[in-house]
Amino acid sequence: MSPQKVEIFKSLQDWAKDNILVHLKPVEKCWQPQDFLPDPSSESFHDDVKELRQRSKELPDDYFVVLVGDMITEEALPTYQTMLNTLDGVRDETGASLTSWAIWTRAWTAEENRHGDLLNKYLYLTGRVDMRQIERTIQYLIGSGMDPRTENNPYLGFIYTSFQERATFISHGNTARLAKEHGDLKLAQVCGIIASDEKRHETAYTKIIEKLFEVDPDETVLSFADMMKKKIAMPAHLMFDGRDDNLFEHFSAVAQRLGVYTAKDYADILEFLVARWKVGELTGLSGEGRKAQDFVCNLVPRIRRIEERAQGRAKHAESMRFGWIYDREVVL
């Protein structure tokens, strides 16, 4: 990114302090995984675990596949912090830098770290999933990293994170809803509390892009179009368990079928962001900027048409054995 653009992020330091850091929750006011797990020092620990396992029995295998995939995605957090620190003008230069951007990234990471931690411990206690297979998948995934094609550019980077926080908000919200439908209210609460963090993070990242639209509309709309042309790659797209070369596609197919995260959600998120940033109402853009604006604004109906056509095609039910659930078979 040009030094002139880097300067924009430097000049937004105080703005970020007053407008972005306020979306972090003080540690003392945050929930912790232990608040939702049996207390190992308590007399009732064994009974509480028994009860948790009893509730989990009502949850189907395909639900576990999706919840495990979501948990693995959260557990690859080192990759996401690395990604944020590739971005020019906002990266944490020392590891403990006191710029607003660096403070945000570290505290965001610390908040996110509770998500994988809680889901991992919860799933472990259910006894329904093959933890060793899951742990291998996490190790592979962190080792593989990800390339969201944000090119060290915070305009692209924060568009990506705006999209992703909303995607995870939707996904955890849906696993909460399904847990409730299967009668597991405690697990519904677990997924719901994580979804509420994602929502708060979405608010912060979309506010950054809203500000960039205000100070630099041309570059911001061009970046939005660029990111959408590249398509938003999911953070765990390089997922591998040592066996299945298309593990991410298989996991995604189950998430799609259960309605946890679908092609329709992708279009809905885009539609939401276009409205949130009032992209259609931008004025004073360059010729290129206007083209990008048109592209982004016309993209939602285009994606929806493609999605409808894909849905119309006859599908035969395929199934797949997932190592995460001891090779039990699940319909894709």
> Looking at 73, 115, 150, 265, which residue is catalytic?
115
Residue 115 as a binder of Fe ion (CB under 5 A): the answer is yes
DSSP tag of 237: T
User: Coil, helix or strand for 118?
Assistant: helix
Q: Which of residues 260-299 bind Fe ion (CB under 5 A)?
A: none
Residue 145 phi/psi, 5-degree rounding, is 75, -155
Judge whether 158 and 205 are in contact, CB under 8 Å: yes
Residue 285 phi/psi, 5-degree rounding, is -85, 160
Q: Which of residues 71-90 bind Fe ion (CB under 5 A)?
A: 74
**Both ends of the chain: CA-CA distance in Å?**
42
* Comparison of 112 and 219: residue with beta carbon closer to Fe ion: 112
151 included as an active-site residue: no
Residue 130 as a binder of Fe ion (CB under 5 A): the answer is no
Q: Is 307 annotated as a binding residue?
A: no
Phi-psi region of 183 (alpha: psi -120 to 50; beta: other; left: phi over 0): left
The residue range among 95-103, 108-116, 122-130, 261-269 that interacts with Fe ion, by the rule CB under 5 A, is 108-116
Q: Is 201 annotated as a binding residue?
A: yes
* Comparison of 72 and 225: residue with beta carbon closer to Fe ion: 72
Q: What is the DSSP string of 16-70?
A: HHHHTGGGSPPGGGS--GGGGS--TTSTTHHHHHHHHHHHHTTS-HHHHHHHHHH
* Comparison of 100 and 168: residue with beta carbon closer to Fe ion: 168
The residue range among 25-33, 132-140, 162-170, 221-229 that interacts with Fe ion, by the rule CB under 5 A, is 162-170
* Comparison of 74 and 219: residue with beta carbon closer to Fe ion: 74
Residue 112 as a binder of Fe ion (CB under 5 A): the answer is yes
Binding residues for Fe cation: 74, 112, 115, 165, 198, 201
Residues annotated as catalytic are 31, 74, 112, 115, 165, 168, 197-198, 201
**Residues near Fe ion, by CB under 5 A:** 74, 112, 115, 165, 168, 198, 201
